[in-house]
């Protein structure tokens, strides 16, 4: 069941007289249904969501109801009644309750006198007893009754004023009726006079029109003879005009087709121009990227060349150190095998470097066809590689000479041999570092060339 509409505002007693409760008992028996009847006053109209609730005396807002029943609206009758089922009624208590009629806006429109709900025995014993109410409740009830009386007097005064105004309006209506009848008679007389004048004017006009019609018929017969020839000429002109219109229509269709064709050609030209601009931008962007790649390659090859020059200087320096070692190697024949093994490792390193250079050459040859615009950089790189090959060949000759000199080397002091061993270890470290630097440089160069070649593809 939907909750009844209520209000959180304390109601005003001015509206309590809109609905009057009839035959409200002082006490009702517990466990029995309660029949509640009421009467609507003249201006009040019940609505669908109106309801009657049982409230404990002393309530403040309409949400304080104990139970409620919706009212069935019947605008044809001023009487209404509902039944409160015993199951929903308050239990036996000494509290006083009252019926309140609440409209769909949550405002109280009527309130009954207080009553109690008690056992049947208590009802029989207390039939002659007075109802005792709390003083504040009684004062509030008396105030409500007084307010209802004042409101009733005010409404009676309003009714008297309305009756007086009604009598005045009836007198005015009678006067207006007399004036209306007089005006109606005058208008009838005027209409009769006007009708006679109009009939006379109509007859005169009709005679004049008949005379004019005869004259017009005579002129028409005369003009018909004259217009036969003009009609033939007009028909010929109409045919010519129709022919010209057909030609104009065909020309308009042709012009429309030409305009559409011109519009399509114009759109095609615009599209081609846009594609041309996009291609130019793409070519310029590609050219810019290619130039940037060339510059990066030049910088990379320049850096590689500098690194190789530095490497060559380091090798020359090591060569001078090796010449210093020669005099020490002669003094120690027992170290000959160790030196030869070390040189063998050096040869192995050189072979690995040759293989790396050979692999780099093959990679450069493979990408030669895709780097036509980079011939200068490639030539520089080839020169660097040839220079490295020459350096390695020179190192081979020096190592061969060193081996030949080591074969005729003699014994040396033990301390100098230890020094030679330390020097050889240092040389090995330097050669390993140099090998790693060259390997890293060529690996980086190979990676850069591969990336640029892949980008171009």
Residue 275 falls inside a structural domain: no
Place of tokens 């009708």: 195
The token pair that represents 412 in the structure block: 């040396």
Residue 268 falls inside a structural domain: no
Q: How far apart are CA 86 and CA 105, in angstroms?
A: 27
Residue 69 falls inside a structural domain: yes
User: 11 pLDDT exceeds 50?
Assistant: yes
Q: 83: domain range? A: 13-127
Q: How far apart are CA 307 and CA 74, in angstroms?
A: 111
Q: Mean pLDDT across the chain, nearest whole number? A: 78
Which one of 109-113, 205-209, 347-351, 359-363 scores highest in mean pLDDT? 109-113
User: 114 pLDDT exceeds 90?
Assistant: yes
Number of domains in the chain: 2
pTM reported for the whole predicted model? 0.31
- Which of 29, 157, 49 shows the shortest CA–CA distance to 109? 49
Higher pLDDT, 449 or 104: 104
Helix (H) / strand (E) element for 149: namely helix 135-330
User: 125 pLDDT exceeds 50?
Assistant: no
User: 328 pLDDT exceeds 70?
Assistant: no
- Which of 32, 18, 34 shows the shortest CA–CA distance to 97? 34
Domain end marker among 99, 127, 155 = 127
User: 244 pLDDT exceeds 60?
Assistant: yes
Domain end marker among 127, 160, 190 = 127
Residue 375 pLDDT class (50, 70, 90 cuts): low
Place of tokens 């005010």: 154
Give Cα 204 distance to the centre of its chain.
81
Q: Which pLDDT does position 121 carry in this prediction?
A: 46
Residue 106 pLDDT class (50, 70, 90 cuts): very high
pLDDT tens profile 168-200: 887 887 788 788 788 888 888 887 888 888 788
Q: In the predicted model, what is the mean pLDDT of residues 212-217?
A: 84
Q: In the predicted model, what is the mean pLDDT of residues 150-155?
A: 81
Q: Which residues contact 343 (CB under 8 A, 6 or more apart)?
A: 399, 402, 403
Give Cα 127 distance to the centre of its chain.
75
Q: Which pLDDT does position 113 carry in this prediction?
A: 95
CB 434 within 8 A of CB 311: yes
Q: Which pLDDT does position 124 carry in this prediction?
A: 47
Give Cα 403 distance to the centre of its chain.
85
Q: How far apart are CA 331 and CA 326, in angstroms?
A: 9
Q: In the predicted model, what is the mean pLDDT of residues 405-412?
A: 66
Residue 349 falls inside a structural domain: yes
- Cα 288 to Cα 152, 284, 445: the distances in Å are 102, 6, 22
Residue 355 falls inside a structural domain: yes
Higher pLDDT, 413 or 152: 152
Residue 334 falls inside a structural domain: yes
> What percent of the chain has pLDDT above 70?
75
User: 394 pLDDT exceeds 60?
Assistant: yes
Q: Which pLDDT does position 35 carry in this prediction?
A: 95
Q: Which residues of 260-289 are buried (b: 16+ CB within 10 A; e: fewer)?
A: eeeeeeeeeeeeeeeeeeeeeeeeeeeeee
* 3-class state of residue 188 by DSSP: helix
Residue 60 pLDDT class (50, 70, 90 cuts): very high
Q: Which pLDDT does position 52 carry in this prediction?
A: 96
Q: How far apart are CA 274 and CA 266, in angstroms?
A: 12
CB 126 within 8 A of CB 33: no
pLDDT tens profile 73-101: 777 778 899 999 999 998 877 889 999 99
Residue 301 falls inside a structural domain: yes
Residue 206 pLDDT class (50, 70, 90 cuts): confident
* 3-class state of residue 20 by DSSP: strand
Domain end marker among 97, 127, 157 = 127
Strand segments (E) across 85-216: 97-102, 108-111, 116-118
Q: In the predicted model, what is the mean pLDDT of residues 5-22?
A: 87
Residue 402 pLDDT class (50, 70, 90 cuts): low
Q: In the predicted model, what is the mean pLDDT of residues 134-138?
A: 66
> What percent of the chain has pLDDT above 90?
16
Q: Which pLDDT does position 61 carry in this prediction?
A: 93
Residue 220 pLDDT class (50, 70, 90 cuts): confident
| Alpha-helix runs per DSSP H in 39-113 | none
Residue 38 falls inside a structural domain: yes
CATH (domain of 37)? 2.60.40.2840
């Amino acid at each position: 069941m939907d909750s009844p509409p209520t209000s959180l505002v304390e109601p005003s007693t001015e509206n309590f007289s809109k609905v009057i409760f009839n035959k409200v008992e002082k006490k009702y028996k517990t466990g029995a249904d309660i029949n509640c009847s009421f009467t609507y006053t003249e201006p009040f109209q019940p609505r669908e969501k109106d309801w009657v609730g049982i409230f404990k005396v002393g309530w403040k807002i309409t949400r304080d109801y104990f139970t409620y029943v919706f009212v069935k609206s019947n605008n044809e009758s001023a009487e209404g009644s509902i039944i409160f089922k015993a199951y929903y009624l308050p239990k036996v208590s000494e509290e006083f309750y009252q019926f309140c009629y609440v409209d769909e806006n949550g405002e109280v429109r009527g309130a009954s006198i207080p009553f109690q709900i008690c056992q049947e025995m208590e009802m029989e014993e207390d039939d002659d007893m007075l109802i005792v109410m709390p003083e504040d409740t009684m004062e509030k009830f008396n105030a409500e009754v007084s307010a209802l009386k004042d409101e009733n007097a005010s409404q009676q005064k309003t009714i008297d004023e309305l009756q007086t105004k009604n009598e005045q309006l009836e007198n005015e209506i009678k006067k207006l009726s007399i004036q209306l009848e007089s005006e109606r008679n005058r208008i009838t007389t005027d209409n009769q006079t006007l009708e006679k004048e109009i009939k006379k004017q109509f007859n005169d006009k009709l005679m004049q029109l008949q005379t004019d019609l005869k004259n017009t018929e005579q002129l028409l017969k005369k003009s018909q003879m004259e217009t036969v020839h003009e009609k033939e000429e007009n028909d010929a002109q109409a045919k010519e005009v129709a022919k010209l219109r057909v030609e104009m229509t065909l020309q308009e269709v042709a012009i429309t087709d030409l305009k559409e064709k011109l519009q399509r050609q114009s759109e095609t030209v615009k599209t081609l121009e846009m594609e041309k601009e996009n291609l130019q931008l793409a070519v310029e962007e590609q050219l810019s990227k290619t130039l940037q790649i060339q510059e990066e390659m030049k910088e990379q090859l320049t850096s590689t060349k500098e690194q190789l020059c530095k490497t060559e200087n380091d090798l020359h320096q090591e060569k001078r150190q090796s010449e210093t070692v020669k005099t020490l190697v002669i003094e120690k024949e027992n170290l000959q095998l160790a030196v030869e093994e070390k040189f063998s490792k050096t040869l192995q390193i050189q072979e690995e470097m040759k293989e790396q250079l050979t692999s780099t050459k093959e990679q450069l040859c493979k990408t030669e066809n895709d780097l036509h615009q980079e011939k200068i950089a490639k030539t520089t790189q080839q020169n660097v590689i040839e220079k490295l090959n020459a350096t390695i060949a020179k190192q081979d000759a020096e190592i061969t000479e060193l081996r030949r000199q080591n074969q005729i080397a003699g014994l040396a002091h033990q301390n100098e041999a230890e020094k030679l061993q330390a020097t050889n270890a240092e040389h090995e470290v330097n050669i390993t570092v140099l090998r790693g630097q060259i390997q890293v440089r060529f690996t980086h160069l190979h990676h850069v060339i591969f990336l640029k070649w892949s980008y171009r593809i």
